[in-house]
Structure 1
Amino acid sequence: MTTWHSKVGHSWRPCISKKLSQEELTSSNGYLIIEANGGLNQQRLSICDAVAVARILNATLVTPMFHLNSVWRDKSKFGDIFDEEYFIDSLKNHVRIVRQLPEDVFQRFDNNLSSIVNLRVKAWLTSSHYVKKVLPRLLTMGAVRIAPFSNRLAHAAPSSIQGLRCMTNFEALRFSEPIRTLAEKMVDRVKKRSGGKYISVHLRFE
């Protein structure tokens, strides 16, 4: 059996061939709270879109929350799965990210997350739609929620936004230290037992 591999003389290259331009971050227009739903892959894509939307709105992104799926029943938080500090630091020159709403802002909503209006936006919305429809509400209320937040940004977007999506996915999002350590142990064990040749299969829930 012939396995798929890179051509001789070629190597895998990241989708970002150069550093993203760093535009000066002006005063934040408010706080964006999103709830990523679905499985881990969907949640990852939702996080990438959330970073992009925060940039479009010039909003401060609150570290994404995960929807408690009726199937998975997983109560993991962002920091349980991803390296939260690394995520925030990696994107600090492009998007403001905080772990939680500042206390003074939260008090305006009676310390109740459900009191913050949930904008149930349609799927695959364009960047211009967010500017026209979501930004005015954000400016008025200071904080908005979008839950659920899956496939909420169109594939087609300005190149800077696409680049930010890519950077988030391949650079800013890395697994938490316990997960990375476990993964390294598993890979080392497989390599030793297989002589370095093995196939990794992603088993779908379906």
Structure 2
Amino acid sequence: MTVDPRQVLAGVLTVTMFVMLGNMIKRDHFDSVEANQSGASSGNYDNVETTDHAVAALHRASQGPWKEDGLDLKRCWTKPASEEGQQSEGFVTFSLTNGPEYHVLQIADAVVVARYLGATLVLPDIRGSKPGDKRNFGDIYDVEKFVRSLDGVVRVAKHQPAEISARNLAVVRVPNRVTEKHIAENIEPIFSRKGNIRLATYFPSVNMKKTEQKSSMDSVACLAMFGTVELQPEVHEVVDSIIERLRTLSRKSDGRFVAVDLRVEMLEKKGCQESGAAGAKSCYSPEEIVLFLRKIGFEKDTTVYLTQSRWDSSLDVLKDFFPKTYTKESIMPVDKKGKYLNSESSEFEKVIDFYICSQSDVFVPAISGLFYANVAGKRIASGRTQILVPATVPGSASAADFSSHYVSKKNHLAYSCFC
């Protein structure tokens, strides 16, 4: 006889929602994965607790997992002073690639390099994953805001000067979070020789934890990461319309909703359908996300937004237990789908997801990586600190026990810029 996995999951949920947690387990979370630490946990669904501790845990769960946003943080940096007298005649060019979670870091590195060299920064283009997929910076981001925010910090050219061609641009590989030492030793000599350079940022790590090392370029990096990039008005309007719709659908939870970064193709690449693997996990399947959300207290009528663009049958289990689960396909304004959902480029879809996850009441990353890390940074900067990292939960538990280490330990790079 064929067993429907959703029926099995339903049975497990029915039993485990009444299982009280005796000893709180450690999170099987992404922070440990990215820091190369171990910490996988396993659960026991058979022991039913009837102690006062268990009753208290049930009471906490009944209060629901929602909490108020954290206090607004203040900037720990000031806008760098103008260095107009130290400007060179050279140009720094670069492109934004791989999605919005990379863009802010690529911009920060380019601004830091241009500031150090006294060079003029050329406004970047945006390149997708497919050959020939290229957009203007202004197709997604606010050009005037970008230029205005960097006034007096670095000169910005909106267009690459005609006299600069690929032939006289030296391509320089730049490690993310580039240091002054690296610029002085590896970039400045090439710039002095060639006059113009093109940066290609690479990412040795997805770790966004702050460091204790201080640099005269810290304020430049903070400005570049958190003070230069905003969506251009039309894209901003699409994001706002989706968020407004999600809040309208969330009346029973006072307009609050959960955003889950869960993309089927990424789960398949990472092998997340496998369960019970040894070691810390880098992603969670739809079934595991359902169990996690239910056990930390999210009710059946909770509104859930998924970063998956179009519905996939593997997500049915989420719809079964959280009927108000939506993708962009089901909730984007109809008149916007042609441009923002059905285009050959996925760049718009990634950007929309990034900003919705940054503004949701709760963010749950089902996949580790830079998307999670940089959404966390944007949320920390705006005081939206409810970031819940999935784990295997043997009984009911408090959502607070699964707060991202980026928040609970205040070790995200954003805490170097906001305090």
Q: TM-score, normalised by structure 2?
A: 0.42
In structure 2, C-alpha distance between the alignment counterparts of 1:23 and 1:70, rounded to whole Å = 39
The amino acid across from 1:199 in the alignment is V
The answer to whether the 8 A contact 1:52-1:165 is kept is: yes
2:80 is aligned, of 21, 38, 47, to: 21
Which shifted more, 155-164 or 27-36? 155-164
Q: 1:69 to 1:188 in 2, by over 3 A?
A: same
Report the alpha carbon displacement of residue 174 of structure 1 after superposing the two structures with TM.
Answer: 0.4
Counterpart position of 2:239 = 183
Mapping for residues 6-85 of structure 1, pairs under 5 Å: 6=69, 11-14=71-74, 16-25=75-84, 26-70=86-130, 74-85=133-144
In the superposition, relative to structure 1, how do residues 180 and 125 fare at CA in structure 2: closer, same or farther (>3 Å)?
closer
Deviation at 1:141, TM superposition (A): 2.0
**Map of 1:109 onto structure 2:** none
Report whether the alignment pairs 1:2 with 2:58.
no
Q: Distance in 2 between matches of 1:3 and 1:87?
A: 35
Q: Is the 8 A contact 1:44 1:169 kept in 2?
A: yes
Shift of 1:198: 1.1
Partner residue, 1:150: 202
Question: CA 1:86/1:121 → structure 2, altered by over 3 Å: closer, same or farther?
Answer: closer
**Residue 18 of structure 1: how far off its partner (Å):** 4.7
Give the Cα separation in 1 of the matches to 2:82 and 2:145. 20
Q: Which consecutive segments of 4 or more residues in structure 1 shift more than 6 A?
A: none
Q: 3-state SS of the aligned residue for 1:144?
A: strand
Q: Shift of the alpha carbon at 1:132?
A: 2.7
CA RMSD of aligned residues (A): 2.9
1:6-33 per-position Cα deviation (integer Å, ceiling 9, x unaligned):
46xxx2214x235223132222251011
* Aligned with 2:190 (options 131, 137, 141): 137
The structure-2 alpha-carbon separation of the partners of 1:151 and 1:63, relative to structure 1 and needing over 3 Å to count, comes to farther
Q: 1:119 aligns with which of 172, 175, 190?
A: 172
How far apart are residue 191 of structure 1 and its match?
Answer: 1.6
1:123 Cα deviation from its structure 2 partner = 5.8
Deviations 1:109-162 (A, max 9, x none): xxx325422123456653122123311221222211123x2338x976644422
Give the deviation of 1:47 after TM superposition. 1.1
Cα distance in 2 for partners of 1:82, 1:168 equals 14
Which structure's CA Rg is the greater one?
A: 2
Q: For 1:145, what is the secondary structure of its paired residue?
A: strand
* Aligned-pair identity (%): 26
The 1:120/1:160 distance shift into structure 2, 3 A limit, reads closer
Secondary structure at the residue paired with 2:94? strand
Cα 1:63–1:55 change in 2 (3 A) is same
In structure 2, how many angstroms separate the alpha carbons of the residues matched to 1:54 and 1:136? 14
DSSP 3-state at the match of 1:119: strand
Distance 1:13 1:201, change over 3 A: same
Counterpart of 1:42, as a letter, is Y
Decide whether aligned partners of structure 1 residues 61 and 33 sit closer, same or farther in structure 2, where only a CA change above 3 A counts. same
Higher relative contact order (CA 8 A, sep 6+): 1
Give 1:24's aligned amino acid: E
Change (3 A) 1:190 1:27: same
Deviation of 1:80 after TM superposition, in Å, equals: 0.9
Query: Given that residues 92 and 122 in structure 2 are in contact (C-alpha distance below 8 angstroms), is that contact kept between their aligned partners in structure 1?
Result: yes
Number of residue equivalences = 194
Paired residue type of 2:138: G
Aligned to 1:164: 220
| Superposition map of 1:186-201 within 5 A | 186-195=242-251, 196-201=255-260
Q: Are 2:91 and 2:119, in contact at CA under 8 Å, matched by a contact in 1? A: yes
Contact 1:60 1:97 in 2 (8 A): yes
TM-score of the two chains, using structure 1 as the length reference: 0.79
SS of 2:198 mapped into structure 1: strand
Cα shift readout 1:32-56 (whole Å, capped 9, x = no counterpart): 1122332221122111221112112
